Amino acid sequence: MKPDDFEELLANCADEPIRFPGAIQPHGALLTLSEPELHIVQVSANVAELFNHSPESLLGQPLHTLIGIEHAEAVRATVTQNSFFDAPPLHMTLNGAEFEGLLHRHQDVLVLEFEPRLKDFQPRAFNGRTSNLGKMLQRLQAAKTLQALYEISVNEIQAMTGYDRVLIYRFEEEGHGQVIAEASAPSMELFNGLFFPASDIPEQARELYRTNWLRIIPNADYEAVPLVPRLRPDTGQPLDLSFATLRSVSPIHCQYMKNMGVLSSMSISLMAGDKLWGLISCGNRQPLLVPNDLRTACQTIGQVLSLQISAMEALDLSRQREEKVEALALLNEAMQASPANVFDGLAQRPQLLMDLTLAGGVAIIEDKQLHRYGNCPEPAQIRALHKWLQETGQPVFASHNLSSVYPPAAEYQHVASGVLAMSLPKPVDNGVLWFRPEVKENINWSGDPNKPLDLESTDAGLRLRPRTSFEIWKVEMAGISTKWSHGDRFAANDLRRSALENDLARQVLREQQAVRARDELVAVVSHDLRNPMTVISMLCGMMQKAFSSEGPHTSRRISSAIDTMQQAAGRMNVLLEDLLDTSKIEAGRYTVKPVALDVSQMFEEAYSLLAPLAMEKGIDLSFNAEPGLRINADPERLFQVLSNLIGNAIKFTPRQGNIGISALSNGEEIVFSVRDSGEGIAPDQLPHVFDRYWTQTENNPTGSGLGLYITQGIVQAHGGRIEAESELGRGSEFRFTVPKPAETPPQ
């Protein structure tokens, strides 16, 4: 047989429709019912033997046809409750035999199962003791260690149920499982400590274990009972029996049980949150049906055990973290103390860094620098590994079998079979890599892990057969280090967080220093330039007197040049003031000195200064202030805001236009408005008018683009806000607010 054919059979096995077998186990019967009528929709074929009714005669009939009106009403009462678990048990006698009814609803189908009642069930007592559920739960809660918890659980369940073998099976990260506790009869083969391949419990079976707490097979040597009809009449699809107690199981699993020497089994899920942590697995050499109430007690044990495991593992994880705190604090101090960068600080404490994760070696990468301590691969090998780790995109990476995911690591597995690594999101290469050497050990498997399934010939051709041997199979594990614990991973993540914080703090400090340096430069330059500009202005004035514009041609030319120089010097002084204001705003050091101001008086001053500019263009300039309006504001700075807004309006309003300035009280604020009938601002430009260096370049060739930015800074320094509205061809409106001053209480 070709390997591809074998792989195809394996894939078919993994895709086996175990949730839709179309059949049940024969020790009970199953019905599906329509709601709310409770008419029979599907039925298992064995109702003829168990209840003396042919399957076809029951289809479409009311439930009371089979179980009587009294029991049918009890079912109806149960299905109206929010939880079936809170309902009284459904006990009934049918065809001279006693049964218990089990109800559940799934995918809009009401399923009623019948199981024989075993009133005389008497499990064997072990160690002279029969179990009591209450006392057993007390013993579980009193366990001091996880192993003690496991041992109590398997012994109690064996005493309660009488199974020949009860074991706890824990799933490992790689998918396979290990038996970590076992209670077995003297005649049973012991599995405690053995590993079982992941293929023994396929993924879809694990999903069923995850969603369903308990599964039972009373007799693996059974013949499945089909459903009638085979498909759901309403959907034409197979019935999903995921939550049916009687669900028929895979023939391969039944053969697996028989190969293991048991005919009866029960499995109870152990959960960690919503993740399948492991199983309590019970097996018996002879057929054994454990009653439903006892199964419920076992399920309770599984649920309590799951909670206890989660709680104790959480405590263990907390302890692992606490063990790392002191070393992490010392490494954080080393990073803070490093004058260059955080990784240089780590390089000063190599032994502490290795001890943090119990590593055999550590490598620290900072761009072109590579520090190695302890037993490490060669520099080129570390660089190649680090590049691969960056490509994985994981900030923290851990593997105790590196060569299985990164084949080149096979060359140096004697020093680095395991790696734990972290890096920072920077454009340069950086990272810390911890290495652990290979630890060769013998792993005891239950059978050959490389041959979990076999082939056999049948009339229909080749088919898969579960392994027949469960003898101890020793495998020497190569290329594997001791596992990185939760505490190790926590340490790597926490160290990365600290490195990020320290690195960010350094960046912020560098930026603050750069801002201070820029502010100082602007202040020095502005101060140093202001004096020469003042001298230039004074000299221009003196020269202007010497060269009259009414003199000869040469004098007029010189006079015109002097005017240009004066205008340039004036613009330079304004620009210097703007640069100083911008620097203060960006540094968060822009301050105002508010005093009480009368708005009407401030408007009069603005009119007297700006009206001549408006009159030159024939623009109608109007001011309107609410009577008696007063504010607390810095008079010079607020006048700067009004001058800038009104000056811009005059500049961009065509001749014979109009500009209106108003101030009104609006609750807790005073709202100032400057509205013009100018050309307006394009919609794509309007969101940017308060950005630095934004200018209306077409009509403002000499503007610095800082005016509105500074205006916004002044308004915000007063505790207000500023906004702009505009429509092309119809003008613009700038509104800004100043908080209303608190009223002075009467004296």
pLDDT tens-digit series, residues 402-416: 998 999 999 998 899
* Amino acid occupying residue 404: S
Give the DSSP H or E segment for 372: strand 369-374
**CA 359/CA 437 separation, integer angstroms:** 8
630 in Cβ contact with 667 (< 8 Å):
no
Beta partners for residue 665, in sequence order: 670
Q: What is the pLDDT of residues 206-258, one digit of tens each?
A: 888 888 889 999 999 999 999 999 999 999 999 999 999 999 998 888 888 88
527 by Cβ neighbours in 10 Å (0-12 / 13-18 / 19+) ranks as exposed
- Omega into 36 within 30° of 0, i.e. cis? yes
DSSP H helices in 162-202: none
* Amino acid occupying residue 539: L
The packing angle between helices 292-337 and 486-546, to 10°, is: 40
Long-range contacts of residues 648-652, Cβ cutoff 8 Å, at least 24 apart: 648/707, 648/708, 649/674, 649/675, 649/676, 649/678, 649/732, 650/610, 650/613, 650/614, 650/617, 650/619, 650/621, 651/699, 651/700, 652/676, 652/678, 652/679, 652/696, 652/699, 652/700, 652/732
Give me Rg for the CA atoms of the chain. Answer: 43
Q: Supply the pLDDT for residue 345.
A: 85
Identify the CA nearest to 732 among candidates 673, 669, 690, 664: 673
Q: Supply the pLDDT for residue 440.
A: 60
Give the DSSP H or E segment for 184: strand 177-184
Q: Supply the pLDDT for residue 736.
A: 95
Q: Supply the pLDDT for residue 353.
A: 93
Structural domains in the chain plus CATH codes: 10-16+123-231+246-316 (3.30.450.40), 20-116 (3.30.450.20), 338-440+478-483 (3.30.450.270), 507-586 (1.10.287), 595-739 (3.30.565.10)
DSSP H helices in 95-238: 133-142, 146-161, 203-211
Q: Which residues of the chain have pLDDT under 70?
A: 1-17, 86, 120-133, 340, 426-427, 440-478, 508-557, 559-590, 695-705, 743-747
Q: Supply the pLDDT for residue 743.
A: 64
The packing angle between helices 486-546 and 553-586, to 10°, is: 160
657 in Cβ contact with 677 (< 8 Å):
yes
Kindly report the length of the chain.
747
User: Strand 620-625 to strand 658-666: parallel, antiparallel, or no bridges (unpaired)?
Assistant: parallel
**CA 494/CA 353 separation, integer angstroms:** 13
- Omega into 88 within 30° of 0, i.e. cis? no
